[in-house]
Amino acid sequence: MTKKERMLAAIRREPQDRIPTQIDFSPKMLDLVSSHYGVPLKNLNALMTAFNEPAESQYQIIP
């Protein structure tokens, strides 16, 4: 599966051979993604970074 095929499958919520870990957008695409999700452009990077954090770092682990 090529990088492009993998990314398109992920966007379509179809099976992939592995999960895409990095997405680079052109400035125009950043504007489109920002407006589609209703997220201000200045907050978009922080939001997308949060999706890439391991699940255990998002929750407090109590021994």
How does pLDDT run across 6-46, given as a tens digit for each residue?
888 887 888 889 887 777 778 888 888 888 878 887 777 67
60 pLDDT tier (thresholds 50, 70, 90): low
Q: Which of 1, 2, 7, 51 is nearest to 25 (CA)?
A: 7
At residue 41, the pLDDT reads 79
62 pLDDT tier (thresholds 50, 70, 90): low
CA distance 25 to 33: 9
Higher-confidence residue of 19 and 47: namely 19
> Which H/E stretch holds residue 49?
helix 41-51
